[in-house]
Each structure stands twice: as C-alpha cells, then as structure tokens.
Structure 1
Amino acid sequence: MATHRSHVIIDVSPDALWRVISDAPRIADWFPAISASDGSAARRTVILGSGERLEELVVTNDSSLRRFQYSIAGGDLPVERHLGTIDVIQLAPSQSLLVYGTEIEPASLAEALGPAIEAAVDGLPKYMHEYKF
C-alpha cells in the first residue's frame, strides 16, 4: 500500500475552509484533476480530467474535528483499497492548516494520485482567496 500526505497553510478561517472541504459533491470546484463531480453528503461520483469515472463513499464528515474521509468504492480504475483523509486545523482565527493524506492499493496508482493531490492542495489558497470564502 502506498501513502501520500500534502499540507498547506491558508490565511482563511478554519470554518470557511471546512465549508469548502466538507461539501463532498463540489470537489471539482477546487481539485484541478477532477473535471466534474456530483452526488450527496454520503457518496459522490467524480470524473477525472482524463475521463475515468470514480465512485466514492463518504466515510467521515465530522464538523467538530473538521475531518473529511472518503473511499474510492468503484469506477474505471482498478482500486483495491483506498482511504483519503482531509483535516482542517485552526492555527489562528484567520489561519488554517489543511492536511490531505491518502492510502491506496495498488501502490502503482499513487504515482498519478500523489501529484494530483499536490496540485489541489497547492491551489487551495488561491481558490479560497479568489472566491472570498
């Protein structure tokens, strides 16, 4: 199993960042490798920029911990096991630390997933400031 972790400090309140992260169906708004997403609070479908479809289940959406976890449960990629975890941690009233970790099997899928997560995490500060959350 491969693991990956990315993080970024963003000058926004943790509540504002949490509203974006916890809105499961709208991940395509801030994750560049995802061209479309739809779903509910319990599950979502994402379409990658390359056209592959993934079915994801929301495992945890805990507003008190500000922890969001999801698992890839089906779709076009041969995922055997997956867990993504996003934590939003308050550093100051208007500053947050976002930590995005993922575990995936087979490990070969991490070669594509890792850089995609890095790009999403690195782009979050700009997204949050452009849309004034």
Structure 2
Amino acid sequence: MATVHREVLIEADPEGIWAAIRDWGEVHHRLAPAFVVDTRVEGDVRVVTFADGTVVHELIVSLDDDLRRIAYSVVGGSMDVAHHHASMQVFAEPGGRSRFVWVTDVQPHGLAEPISAMVDQGIRVIRRTLEAAALAS
C-alpha cells in the first residue's frame, strides 16, 4: 500500500476552509473548480467527475466538525483500486492562516504515482480557490 501525504499553508481562516470542505457535494464549485467538473450526491456517496474524465464514487466515511476533518473511500467508478482511503483536515495556524492536510492510502502500490499527480494538481487548485474566496469575503 502507498501513502500520499500533502500539507499546504493557506492564507484563509480554518472556519472558511472547513465550510468549503464540509460542503462535500459542491467540490466542483467551492473547493476545486475546473479540476473537478461535477459532483453529485447519492446518499452517503458522492460521484466526482474530474476534468480528465476520471469518475470516482466516494463513500463518505466520516465528517467531523470538531476536528474539521472529512474521510472518504473510493468504492467505484472508473479508477481500478483495490483499496482507497483519504482524509482532508484543516488546522488553525498563527496569523489567521490554516494548514490543510490531505492523506491518501491506496492499493495497488502502482497507483501511488498517478494519485500523487492528482493530489498535487488538486491541492494547487484548492489553495488558489480558498485563498481567492477568503479575499473576496
């Protein structure tokens, strides 16, 4: 199994960032527009369509307001994974900034490289989107 762990400082308060992450059916609008082109909610599953055409069905495992953490697992779609579990969490940092942590465990190990590339691209879009939203408010 491979682990992809990324952290980034975001120039926005943790409550605003958490509000965007927590709105888990609006990823394509509030968190990663253009990187994610559509999100549909079907019960506890969100169906996420990426700009490259990849579609994943993600089971929401945990949504914790106190920890500002969401955990999800890919349970279907066009990615052929044996195991996928990811979490996103927001921590307060001095000066009104936030630390955004995204951890993904995936199997088979060979998916580590493509998942890393997606996470790297996604985190750049997320940071840019959240900082722009903070400036606008």
- After TM superposition, the score normalised by the length of structure 2 is 0.87
Q: Is contact 1:57–1:70 with CA below 8 Å preserved after alignment?
A: yes
1:69 to 65, 68, 71: 71
User: Which structure is higher in helix share?
Assistant: 2
Q: How far 1:93 moved relative to its partner?
A: 6.1
Within the alignment, does 1:13 sit opposite 2:13 as a pair?
A: yes
- Whichever residue aligns with residue 38 of structure 2, its letter is A
Question: What residue number does 2:105 align with?
Answer: 103
How far, CA to CA, are the matches of 2:45 and 2:100 in structure 1?
22
Question: What residue number does 1:116 align with?
Answer: 118
CA RMSD of aligned residues (A): 1.8
How far, CA to CA, are the matches of 2:14 and 2:106 in structure 1?
27
Q: How far 1:87 moved relative to its partner?
A: 1.0
Question: What residue number does 2:128 align with?
Answer: 126
Q: How far 1:112 moved relative to its partner?
A: 1.2
In terms of mean alpha carbon deviation, does 31-40 or 115-124 score higher? 31-40
Percent identity reads: 25
Q: How far 1:130 moved relative to its partner?
A: 2.1
Question: What residue number does 1:78 align with?
Answer: 80
Query: Cα 1:39–1:61, aligned 2, differ >3 Å: closer, same or farther?
Result: same
Q: How far 1:99 moved relative to its partner?
A: 0.6
CA offsets per residue over residues 27-82 of structure 1, 9 Å max, x none?
22333542211116722001122223211100111010011100000112211111
The DSSP-based 3-state class of the residue aligned with 1:25 is coil
Runs of 4+ in 1 over 6 A off after TM superposition: none
Question: What residue number does 1:37 align with?
Answer: 39
Query: Cα 1:17–1:101, aligned 2, differ >3 Å: closer, same or farther?
Result: same
In structure 2, runs of 5+ residues without a counterpart are none
Query: Cα 1:130–1:94, aligned 2, differ >3 Å: closer, same or farther?
Result: same
- After TM superposition, the score normalised by the length of structure 1 is 0.89
In terms of mean alpha carbon deviation, does 18-27 or 60-69 score higher? 18-27
In structure 1, runs of 5+ residues without a counterpart are none
